[in-house]
Amino acid sequence: MTVVTDPARPVAVPDEPGTAPPRRKRGSFGFNSISPAEKAVRYLLLVFVLLITIGPFLWQLSTSLKGSGEDIYTRIPKLLPSQPTLSHYGEVANTIPVWDYARNSLVVAVLVVGGNIIGSSLAGFALSRLQFRFRRLVLGLFLATLVLPGEVTIISQYVTVREFGLANTLLGVALPGMIGALNVLLMYNAFRSLPVEVDQAAIVDGANVWQRFLYIGLPSVRGTISVVAIFAFIGAWDDFLWPLIVLTDPNKYTLTVGLQYLSGTFSNNPRLIAAGTMIAFIPIVIVFATLQRFFFKGVEEGAVKG
Amino acid sequence: MRYHRWFSPWVLVIPALAWLLVFNLWPSINTVILSFTNARPIGGGTFVGLKNFEALLHDEQLRYALLNSVIYMLVCLPLLTILPLALAVLVEKKVPGITFFRTAFYTPVVASAVVVALIWQWILDDRGLVNGLAEKLGVISGPLPFLSDQWLLLFSAISLTVWKGIGYYMIIYLAALGNVGRELHEAAAVDGASAFRRFTNITIPGVRGTMILVSILISVSALRVFSELYILSGGNGGPGGRDSSVVMLIQQYSQGFEGNLGYASALSIVLFFVTVVPMLALARLNRKAADA
């Protein structure tokens, strides 16, 4: 239905409610029904992979809840704590200002999400729906930067941020990522799927560029916007290298840098580090679990191109 | 025919274009300029000619970092090309509860590399889960030094990268599998082809283009590895700094009184060439295969 390998290909169908893409016919009935034996094997494999992917997180959660008197090094691992306690979460806050770090991460993430939604949808709309000189050149510039791994320019990016006087600030952490070239191209692709006739009809009705963007363009690309927002949030919340370079003052750390600081400086108690990692992990899982519907829908529409 | 004033598109494009110029294009040029200076993290710096590049040739840590990168890529490439495809085939069929499994398999991707590395650091600890279980089962007599031996540390980081990456590439393959003709599978099944034969003869050729894309992504991200090695090695690159990656060296030179942004920029240029060369090679391979 959609091709992910070809970034130039428009999204197949606009994700306007009501014009949902027609589902592929599910083939013949007999081919799709699976035998009980195959079903059992499938679920067995699924549960096996589940243990591998989720197991480590559960083990960490369990460690963070185990009482200080409990032997966490026992040879026979126990998943359920025998003296469950939340005290380590409080203790982390006494060791490092973990709630400030969480707030810092949130500030950066919100700035990055907001910037990307606004900046990339404006540019994506102009590049796909409006004719102007140098349009292809601008588009080519955005494409060209995708080839460059971010780490290559990270040092000179730091120099730029420092010259703006933003070294060691949260704004300095957020700023470079606030409009991503990839997101501009994703939005460009999404807007392209809208039929030209819709624009022409709006022009005949006297709608100006801004009205066409706001009332025709935006409502038709909500799926892609949510994918852009989810990825921007996860990217900003999880980022480590860039805030590690920009921030030098331990009071301004984001969660990831703060966790590294916790484990490097006060690493004697695994329960404490476990509690810290859970504070960073649980919010992102909640965000993803609530929005996964849009994410997988976006994947099916071809909004994810690696 | 235009239906807008000449400046309207520019008003919309300018924020994104400004970001591109200030935070992508200018830093690319500035990296080259900086690599000929001895700029410090706090500022300043003068032109030093090719001194940084000469120093690169004698940098023993860089040699280890490049070796590690090559090993990283060679191990990750086959594992992360095949395993996620198999997993995508497994989760493609919409059995009850499949959304839960898909979401769960994607969880390691969503988690920060720092969080994931700290979790594995505890699991691979001398007194952690893996060593405890192995000793209990009598497989080993003493704990294996996963986090302090040069090679074990490297392979621990590689396993971590593979574990974290599977869900990501699974999703890319999942989207591609939607394009593989269902009719082909049905016809083959009617003709009595086994599930394995259908996988090798229909699924794999059907997602060949995606496999090339995925292998490009894997190679580039293997060469860019940072957080896993940094956290597992406790930030110092393991015994004698021999478990560093190129990005770790760049970060190391980016701060402190010993920092040297000029040298870090020269390292960035090395990183550019080691990442772009395999990318172009694989892309070329793709084009050749498509022409054939």
User: What pLDDT, on the 0 to 100 scale, is given for residue A295?
Assistant: 77
User: What pLDDT, on the 0 to 100 scale, is given for residue B142?
Assistant: 79
Mean pLDDT of all residues in B166-175: 91
User: What pLDDT, on the 0 to 100 scale, is given for residue A7?
Assistant: 36
pLDDT tens by residue, A162-172: 999 998 999 99
Question: Would the pLDDT of A286 be above 60?
Answer: yes
Mean pLDDT of all residues in B76-102: 91
Mean pLDDT of all residues in B204-219: 87
Question: Would the pLDDT of A281 be above 50?
Answer: yes
Question: Would the pLDDT of A149 be above 70?
Answer: yes
Kindly report the nearest CA distance between residue A238 and chain B, in angstroms: 4
- Tell if the pTM clears 0.95, that is, is over it: no
User: What pLDDT, on the 0 to 100 scale, is given for residue A43?
Assistant: 93
CA A242 – CA A280 distance, rounded (Å): 17
Closest CA to B123 of A67, A70, A61, A65: A61
User: What pLDDT, on the 0 to 100 scale, is given for residue A13?
Assistant: 34
Query: Three-class SS of residue A61?
Result: helix
ipTM of the complex: 0.90
Pair A77, B132: CB distance under 8 Å:
yes
- Greatest alpha-carbon span in chain A: 76
CA A49 – CA A113 distance, rounded (Å): 32
- Does B276 contact A125 at a Cβ distance shorter than 8 Å? no
Quick one: what percent of chain A has pLDDT higher than 90? 46
* pLDDT band, very low/low/confident/very high, at B177 (cuts 50, 70, 90): confident
- Give CA separation, A184 vs A116, A121, A228, in Å: 8, 7, 9
Q: Residue B43 pairs with which residues in a beta bridge? A: B40
* pLDDT band, very low/low/confident/very high, at B250 (cuts 50, 70, 90): very high
- Residues contacting residue B190 through CB under 8 Å, at least 6 positions apart: none
Pair A186, A303: CB distance under 8 Å:
yes
CA A74 – CA A70 distance, rounded (Å): 9
pLDDT tens by residue, B28-69: 999 999 999 888 887 778 888 888 999 899 988 999 999 999
Q: What is the C-alpha radius of gyration for chain B, rounded to an integer number of angstroms?
A: 24
Question: Would the pLDDT of A9 be above 50?
Answer: no
Question: Would the pLDDT of A18 be above 50?
Answer: no
- Which of A50, A245, A273 lies nearest to residue B118, judging by beta carbons? A273
Count the neighbouring beta carbons within 10 Å of the beta carbon of residue B264: 27
Kindly report the nearest CA distance between residue A124 and chain B, in angstroms: 8
Quick one: what percent of chain B has pLDDT higher than 90? 45
User: What pLDDT, on the 0 to 100 scale, is given for residue B128?
Assistant: 84
Among B17-26, B97-106, B280-289, the minimum mean pLDDT is found in B280-289
- Give CA separation, B191 vs A148, B90, B184, B202, B276, in Å: 47, 22, 11, 13, 45
Kindly report the nearest CA distance between residue B256 and chain A, in angstroms: 9
- Does A159 contact B39 at a Cβ distance shorter than 8 Å? yes
User: How far, rounded to the nearest angstrom, does the alpha carbon of residue B139 sit from its chain's CA centroid?
Assistant: 32
Closest CA to B210 of B72, B76, B80, B74: B80
Chain A residues with beta carbon closer than 8 angstroms to that of B182 = 24, 27
**When comparing pLDDT for A50 and B8, which is higher?**
A50
Question: Would the pLDDT of A15 be above 50?
Answer: no
Say which DSSP state B47 is in: B
- A56 by Cβ neighbours in 10 Å (0-12 / 13-18 / 19+) ranks as buried
Structure tokens at A70: 């409990």
Chain B residues with beta carbon closer than 8 angstroms to that of A209 = 4, 8-9, 12
User: What pLDDT, on the 0 to 100 scale, is given for residue B81?
Assistant: 93
Question: Would the pLDDT of B204 be above 60?
Answer: yes
User: How far, rounded to the nearest angstrom, does the alpha carbon of residue A122 sit from its chain's CA centroid?
Assistant: 20
User: What pLDDT, on the 0 to 100 scale, is given for residue A59?
Assistant: 92
Most confident of A111-125, A252-266, B227-241, B247-261: A111-125
Q: Kindly report the average pLDDT of chain A as a whole number.
A: 83
Of all residues in chain A, the one with the smallest CA distance to B133 is: A75
> HSE (CB half, 13 Å, CA atoms) of B174?
29
Q: Kindly report the average pLDDT of chain B as a whole number.
A: 88
Give, rounded to a whole angstrom, the gap between the first and last alpha carbons of chain B: 41
- Does B27 contact A153 at a Cβ distance shorter than 8 Å? yes
